[in-house]
Chain A
Amino acid sequence: MRKVHPRGRTRLVAGLAVAGIALAGLTACSGDDDKSATPDPTKGGGESAAAEIGVDDGTELTMWTRAPLEAQATRLVKAYNASHKNQVKLEIIPNDDMESKVGGAAANGELPDLLAGDVVRVPYWVDNGLFTEITDEIGSLPFKDDISSGHIDAGTVDGAMHTLPFVQDISVMVWNKDLYREAGLDPEAGPTTMAEFKEQAQAVADLKKDGVSGTYYGGNCGGCLVFTWFPSIWASGEEVLSADGTESLLASDAAKELYGIYADLNKSGAIGAGSKEETGATWVAPFQGGNVGVMQYPNTVVAAAIEAGIDVGVGPIPGVDGGTSTFLGGDAMGISKDSKNVEQAWNYLAWMVSEETQLEVVAKAGDVVSRNSLLENEFTKSDPVAAVAAEAIPNGRTPVAAYFAEAFNASGSPFVTMIRNATFEATNTVDADNDAVTEILSQ
C-alpha cells in the first residue's frame, strides 16, 4: 500500500505532462514495427516497376475489415502470406462499430496500413483524408480499365484515386422453387418485372402455409433496403441520387410504384412476419429456412441457402417494367494515411486485383471477381449465381454521397422513415419524406 502511493503519483505527474502534449494534438510514435530500411513512402518515388508491384521485403502489414467479410478477407490474407515475404495481419472489427473504431484510430494516428470499408461509407472517409492517394499506382496497372469501377469511383475525389475493390457483394433476386411448384408457378421463371414479382409473391402467400410468406424485407434496416430496392429504380431508368450526391430522387414515379407494390403486398398479408421490425439481423434467415417465396438477396448468402437445402432460383433484380440492375456493394480497400509502409501495402493491393488472385482465390471460393473480363470463368460455369452476376454487374451501380450513411444506413434515418411510411403505414407522404432525406444529403 505504501508502494502504491508514490507510484500513483509519479505516473500521475508523468501522465499530466503527456496529457498536455496529447491535448496539443501531437500524436507521436505509431507503427512500432516501422522498418528503417523502408524507402520514404512518397508516391511515385520508385521506378515504374516498383510502382506496379510495390515492395515485398518481409514487412508486417496490418489490415482492418469488418466482421461480415471475415471469410473473404481471411482467404485473401492466407493466400498472400503464403506466397509473399510481406505478412499481413488481419484484424476483424464488429460491423456496427467500424465507424467508431476507425474514427478513434484516425484521431490517434493508429489506422492500419490497409483499411477496407463498406463502399457506401468510403466517400466520407476519403473526403476526410483517411487514405493515401494511389492514382499513379493504379494508373500503372496494365489492366486498370478492367477493374470494376464502382469501388474505384467511391474512393475518387477530384480525379485522385484512393481505393480498389476488396470484396464484391451484389444483390440478386432469389425464389424458392419448391414453393413455386406448390403455388403452380414455373420454378424456372423468376420475376422479370416488379409486377410479376408482386404476382408471384402473392401466389406463394395464397398457399396459406403455416409460417410461409410471399416475400420478406428489412423494414427497419436502411442498409438492406438500399441494397435491394435501389436496383429496381435503376433498372427502371431512374436515378436515386443527383450526380453530386446532395439530392435524393426517391420520389420518382418508378420509386413510388415500387413502394406501392410493397404497400399492396402488406395489405394483402403477403409480407413475412417480422419484416416491419427487421433490423437486418435475421434478414436472410426466413428464406434460408424455406419460409419465403421470392425476395431480393445478397449473392454472398445464396450458397448458404442452397447448403441449407433450399432449391434456389436466382435471377437479376428487375425494374418496375423490366430491365435489370444490381447494387455493387461490398468493401473497397485503400492504404491509410497513417501507413508507414505504403509500397509494401501497394504490393498487397496490386496482388489482390491481379488475374491469378481473382481466379484462384476469389472465383474459386465462389465469390464475385472484381475484373470484368473474368466474370465468366472456369469456376462459374456450373454456378447459376455467377451467370446472373455476370449479366447484372455491367448494369450495376454504387451510389456515392458524402452523407450517405447518415441519410440511409443510420438507425432511424429519414430514408427508413420514408419507406416505413410508404409501405407499412401508407401515409402518402413520400414527397415530404424525400425532402427530409435531401436535407441530410445537402448539409
Chain B
Amino acid sequence: MSRLAQGLTRTPFYVLTGGLAVIFLYPIIWTAISSVSAQPGSNQVSGFGFGNYETVVNYQAGLWTYLGNSLVISATAVVVTLVASTFGGYAFARFSFPGKNVLFLLTLAILMVPYATLLIPLMTWLKAIHLNNSLIGVGLVLAVFQLPFATFMMRISFEAVPKEMEEAALVDGCGSFGALRRVLLFAVKPGLITVGLFAFLAAWNDFMVPLFLVGGDNQPLPLAMVNMRQQVMGVIDYGATQAGVVILTVPCIFLFLVLQRHYVNGFMSGALKG
C-alpha cells in the first residue's frame, strides 16, 4: 500500500500521522510528568521530585521483592508459552492427527471463559496439585491464558513457511525435530518473538491471577501497585499510581525497543514486495 501514501502529498501525511503519534503518546507522557509533579494526597505535595517513587520503593516488602516475584512469574509464563506454542503450532500446521481439531478448538476455547469464574476452581485445584502459593503455578496459569493467541500465532507462522525449506532439511537427513530446530525455528522467529513478548507483557502486568493464587511475600509488582493506590474509603493515591505505572511500563517499553530490531527487520524484508 505504498501507493496509498504516495497518493497523498507529503505534508498532510506527516501532519496526519504526526497527530496520530501525539494522540498515542500523550497519555504515557502525561503520566510520566504527573508522576513527578505535585499532587494533593500523594507523597509529592509541592514542586517536582521523586516523592511518589519513594512511596513505591518503600512499600511493604519493598520494590525489589515484588520485582523479583514478577520476574519469576513472567519468565515461567514466557518459557512455558514459547515451548508449548512452538511444538503445538508446528503439530497443528504440519501434521494431521486424530483429535487435532478438538484439541485446537479446546485451546481456542480458553479465550471464551470469563476468567473471573475460573479463579475459584483454580484455587481449589492448584492446592490439590500442590501448586498453591507458588510463583511457578501463577506462571503456568498465565501461560495457559496466553495459549490461544500463542498457538494460533505459531500455527499461522509455521503455515507461512514454504514447505520446501523443511523438505530440504528432511532430505539432508534431519528428523522432523531436527528440521524444526535447525531450519523452521529461524523462519518463524518473528512469530516467536511476538508470542514471547506478549506472554511477557500479559504476565508482567497481571494482578488478578496472583491475587487469587499467591499471598504473603509472593506478590508481584502489579498487585502491590493496586494495593498501594488505595487509601481510606476508596481514595486513590494518583501520584503513587502513576509512579507505579511508570515503573511497570519502563521494562516493557525497553523490551519493545530492543526486540523491535529483530522482529521488525524480519517483517520488513517481506514488506517492500507488497
Q: Which A residues contact B (CB, under 8 angstroms)?
A: 1, 4, 11, 14-15, 18-19, 21-22, 27, 62, 66-70, 74, 89-97, 100-101, 103-105, 107-108, 110, 169, 221, 223-224, 227, 279-285, 288-289, 298, 300-301, 304, 307-309
Contact = CB atoms under 8 A, between A and B. Distances in A.
10 contacts: A4-B83, A14-B129, A21-B128, A68-B234, A95-B234, A97-B211, A100-B120, A223-B233, A223-B234, A281-B236
Interface stretch (B10-18, B28-36, B224-232): B224-232
B233 A107 contact: no
Nearest to A297: B233
Contacts of B212: 100-101, 104
Interface in B222-274: 223, 226-236, 238
Given A18-B129, A91-B215, A282 B235 contact: yes
Most interface-central of B128, B219, B238 (chain A CB within 10 A) = B128
Contacts of A92: 60, 227
Given A68-B234, A94-B227, A283-B235, A108 B41 contact: no
Interface of B: 40-41, 45, 60, 83, 87, 119-120, 123-125, 127-129, 132, 177, 207, 211-212, 215-216, 219, 223, 226-236, 238
Contacts of B228: 67, 70
A305 to B, nearest CB: 8
A53 to B, nearest CB: 26
B128 A68 contact: no
Contacts of A308: 40-41, 45
Contacts of B219: 91
Given A92-B227, A283-B233, A307 B45 contact: yes
Contacts of A108: 123-124, 127, 132
Nearest to A284: B235
A52 B131 CA distance: 39
Nearest to B84: A4
A284 B83 CA distance: 49
Contacts of B238: 285
A93 B227 contact: yes
Contacts of A21: 128
A22 B129 CA distance: 10
B178 to A, nearest CB: 12
Contact of B232 (A22, A103, A221, A301): A301
B41 A284 contact: yes
A285 B40 contact: yes
A68 B232 contact: yes
Contacts of A105: 123
Contacts of B223: 94
B123 A169 contact: no
Given A15-B129, A68-B232, A108-B123, A91 B216 contact: yes
Given A1-B87, A1-B177, A309-B45, A281 B216 contact: no
A107 B120 contact: yes
A129 to B, nearest CB: 18
Given A68-B230, A97-B211, A301 B235 contact: yes
Nearest to A103: B120
Contacts of B215: 91
Contacts of A18: 128-129
A308 B235 CA distance: 15
Contact of A169 (B128, B229, B232): B232
B128 A104 contact: no
A283 B228 CA distance: 17
Nearest to A69: B232
Contact of B123 (A14, A90, A104, A298): A104
Contacts of B125: 19, 22
B248 to A, nearest CB: 16
B129 A68 contact: no
A194 to B, nearest CB: 21
A19 B129 CA distance: 8
A14 B129 CA distance: 8
Contacts of A91: 215-216, 219
Nearest to B45: A308
B129 A11 contact: yes
Contact of A67 (B123, B128, B227): B227
Given A101-B211, A285-B40, A224 B234 contact: yes
